[in-house]
Amino acid sequence: MKRRLTLLAATIWAAAALPAAALDLVMVDRAGCVYCERWKDEIGPIYPKTEVGQAAPLTIVSIGDAPPDGVTFARKVLFTPTFILVDDGQEVGRIEGYPGEDFFWGLLEKMLEDHDPSAAQG
């Protein structure tokens, strides 16, 4: 639990340094996807309450649907869930799969830092 809170705090801190208006997180899911449902159960309820959730609001689309209006993915989505960080309509990072709550927050933090390296500096 302590590690989870540490990762969450670090993710929130990293997101706070990013411009909030331009970022979105797109989750691509598929009906019957067990890992999609796990994410929705474990992370879904708390994600919009976090600073990163407010900085990069979540949109969920089905793998068979086109990306949200004004969004371009860098490549085709093959796995579900896939989480795509979008800045001003362009994909800037992605997480393929859901290996669990602790890993998700760490991977999201890394994706945010890679997008804006100054977010990792204190």
For residue 115, the model assigns a pLDDT of 85
For residue 9, the model assigns a pLDDT of 45
pTM of the model: 0.79
Domains along the chain?
2-120 (3.40.30.10)
Mean pLDDT, residues 27-48: 97
Name the percent of the chain lying above pLDDT 90: 68
What are the tens digits of pLDDT across the range 90-116?
999 999 999 999 999 999 989 988 887
3-state secondary structure 50-101: CHHHHHCCEEEEECCCCCCCCCECCCCCCCCCEEEEEECCEEEEEEECCCCH
Structure tokens belonging to residue 56: 């990069």
What are the tens digits of pLDDT across the range 59-99?
999 999 999 999 999 999 999 999 999 999 999 999 999 99
